[in-house]
Amino acid sequence: MENPKPDLGRSLREFSADWNSDNSRVNRHGFAVLYRKELADHLESRRFWILFFLLLIISMVSLRGALNTISGAASQASSQGQSITDFLFLALFTTSGSSIYSFSTFLGFLGPIFGIMLGFDAINEERSQGTLNRLAAQPIYRDTIINAKFCAGATVIFITIFSIGLLFTGAGIVISGIEPRAEEFARIAIFLLVAAIYICVWLSISILFSTLSKHAATSALGCIALWLFLTMFLSLFASGLANMLYPADSARATMMDAINNYRVRVGFSRISPYYLFNEVTSVLMNPNIHSLDIMSTLESEYSQIASYLTLGQSVLQIWPQIVAMFAETVIGFAVAYICFMNREIRA
């Protein structure tokens, strides 16, 4: 133990020697082949296209609904000589119609299903087909299998989200005649990126379930149960917990209690990627919103100057949410990875 100082040069040389070694080359080649096969499998599968067209149709319907609402509000506003917002194009993504949800809400709801669809049978299907041991006997490291599967799934998610998002944008421009400004474009691009990360959370969770459970049906049901819980019921648990810790509605409740109650509720809700995604959407797609914290919201009622947040400041507000979603993806995948590496290959 005489050399505690890390030798960067040597580490780099070792890394490059390892990276360029024959075995690494062979492994990378295997990864590429497997990745391409997985990608082709996804893109050729019927369930992918069903969900893709479902998302596409829904996005077009929600665009229609948003346009109705906005044109109604706009004509009302212009009759009073005002405009509703400077970021009219962004409103297309977040405004709901009279009987239909907005695009961002739909993405928040159906995105997880898309992610689950891509991953729930990743490992157990190979196992039940008897292809896993054949695959593992090819000249690749074992983790290459799960890595390639995750990368292929994530690629499909990015392709899907960006193609649907851009189709939505294009259709929005053509139908509404509103021209998005550069900043709006940037916000849309970041929004789509975050949506893709949000769906990747569910991809990694579903891959985890597929390594844990033997049957594809079990893993699909497990994923859907978790999705329902995190999307629908976690907020109930959160408010229950908050009310237990800081009862805010009793006569003796102080202002502090109310604030703490809120913070516990929100903090607990933020476990759910769905909640995080909604927070990101609300800030990113509405520059009017300055902060997500209750104190600054209270302050703003009295002291805030009515202005729009710049893009950089909006992103700064939601940076923790983005990082949290990224972390959830990484944790889900890491656990799946460890489980997969420790499982016996044999059926």
Q: What does the DSSP 8-state code read for residue 250?
A: S
How many C-beta neighbours within 10 Å does residue 13 have? 11
Element (H, E) at 248: none
For another protein, the closer of residues 104 and 210 by Cβ is: 210
Supply the minimum distance, in Å, between the C-beta of residue 203 and another protein. 21
**3-state DSSP assignment of residue 251:** coil
Max distance between CA atoms of the chain, in angstroms, equals 80
For another protein, the closer of residues 252 and 346 by Cβ is: 346
**3-state DSSP assignment of residue 253:** coil
Supply the minimum distance, in Å, between the C-beta of residue 51 and another protein. 18
For another protein, the closer of residues 5 and 346 by Cβ is: 346
Supply the minimum distance, in Å, between the C-beta of residue 269 and another protein. 41
Among 58, 140, 309, 315, binds another protein (CB under 8 A): 140
For another protein, the closer of residues 135 and 330 by Cβ is: 135
How many C-beta neighbours within 10 Å does residue 173 have? 14
338 binds another protein (CB under 8 A): no
Q: Are 99 and 65 in contact (CB under 8 A)?
A: yes
Supply the minimum distance, in Å, between the C-beta of residue 40 and another protein. 10
Structure tokens at 49: 């296209």
Among positions 110-139, residues that touch another protein (CB under 8 A) are 129-131, 133-134, 136-139
Among positions 22-41, residues that touch another protein (CB under 8 A) are 23, 26-27, 29-30, 33-34, 37, 41
**In terms of C-beta distances under 8 Å and separation of at least 24 residues, what long-range contacts does 239-242 make, across chains too?**
239/265, 241/265, 241/268, 242/268
The rounded distance, in Å, linking the Cα atoms of 220 and 47 is: 14
Among positions 173-212, residues that touch another protein (CB under 8 A) are none
Structure tokens at 85: 């917002």
Q: Which amino acid is at 73?
A: A
Mask 41-80, x = binds another protein (CB under 8 A)? x--x------------------------------------
Supply the minimum distance, in Å, between the C-beta of residue 11 and another protein. 21
The rounded distance, in Å, linking the Cα atoms of 290 and 283 is: 7
Q: Which residues bind to another protein, rule: CB under 8 A?
A: 23, 26-27, 29-30, 33-34, 37, 41, 44, 129-131, 133-134, 136-142, 344-347
